[in-house]
């Protein structure tokens, strides 16, 4: 059965964009500087704001101060950032008031990556600076719902991380996962799972604005 909604809320990195190479290089440099194993960082970094990742892996450091140069670097470096196949036609066919981007990155990073890859800028863009608590807290998705003037239970989230799926469900939203940065067995809490963003199909709904389903 398709999932119906009035708005789609997309995570950015790992859903519409493949920024894995850029993110891994950034965290590797930071980890080497502080003597923190790269694997420890990447085990929790996906789907979280940099400040909250640092709080988890290095509670002895000033997370706010450490996150600033990381964000500044990623805002000017788009090397290793690519558009995901199928992302452009998916969002380009949606009305501007029917979708938003909710990312754990900063506004500068999001804007630089959208510009570099040619993705359209969403009318609503929720970033790390717009919330007090990042994913898996529901605040980012609730902020998007509020700005779009669409009730949370009529929004569907497209995510690639367990933290993002948890945030969506805590916000009272359904979630469709894309098995891009995480294997399917780590995404089983989602309401549906797509292997690729190109497998997500959107059409007119019967009761709500959109109907979403995942191709077999």
Q: To 10 degrees, the CA torsion angle through 45, 47, 53, 57?
A: -40
Point out which residues pair with 156 in neighbouring strands. Answer: 8, 174
Q: Which residues, including other chains, have CB under 8 Å from residue 79's CB and lie 6 or more apart?
A: 21, 22
Q: Is 11 a catalytic residue?
A: yes
Helix or strand run (H / E) with residue 18:
strand 17-18
Cis-peptide into 34, omega within 30 deg: no
Q: Which residue among the candidates 11, 160, 199, 204 is catalytic per the annotation?
A: 11
Query: 41 and 61 in contact (C-beta within 8 Å)?
Result: no
Instruction: Please tell me the distance from the alpha carbon of residue 179 to that of residue 79, in angstroms, as a whole number.
Output: 23
Residue 153 a catalytic site member? no
Pairing of the two strands 82-83 and 17-18:
antiparallel
> Of 13, 18, 130, 204, which is the active-site residue?
13
The candidate with the shortest Cα–Cα distance to 100, out of 91, 88, 90, is 91
d(CA 105, CA 103): 5
Active site residues: 11, 13
């Amino acid at each position: 059965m398709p999932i119906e909604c009035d708005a789609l809320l997309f995570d950015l990195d790992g859903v519409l964009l493949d920024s894995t190479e850029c993110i891994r290089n950034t965290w590797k440099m930071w980890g080497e500087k502080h003597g923190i194993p790269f694997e420890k960082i990447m085990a929790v970094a996906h789907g979280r704001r940099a400040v909250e990742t640092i709080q988890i892996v290095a509670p002895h450091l000033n997370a706010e101060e450490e996150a600033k140069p990381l964000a500044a670097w990623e805002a000017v470096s788009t090397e290793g950032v690519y558009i995901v196949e199928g992302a452009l036609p998916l969002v380009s066919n949606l009305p501007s008031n029917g979708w938003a981007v909710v990312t754990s990155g900063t506004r500068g990073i999001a804007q630089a990556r959208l510009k570099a890859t040619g993705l359209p800028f969403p009318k609503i863009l929720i970033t790390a600076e717009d919330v007090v608590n990042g994913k898996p807290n529901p605040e980012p998705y609730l902020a998007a719902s509020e700005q779009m003037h669409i009730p949370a239970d009529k929004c569907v989230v497209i995510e690639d991380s367990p933290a993002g799926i948890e945030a969506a469900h805590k916000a009272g939203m359904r979630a469709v996962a894309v098995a891009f940065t995480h294997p399917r067995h780590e995404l089983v809490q989602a309401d549906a799972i797509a292997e690729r963003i190109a497998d997500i199909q959107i059409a007119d709904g019967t009761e709500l604005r959109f109907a979403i389903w995942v191709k077999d």
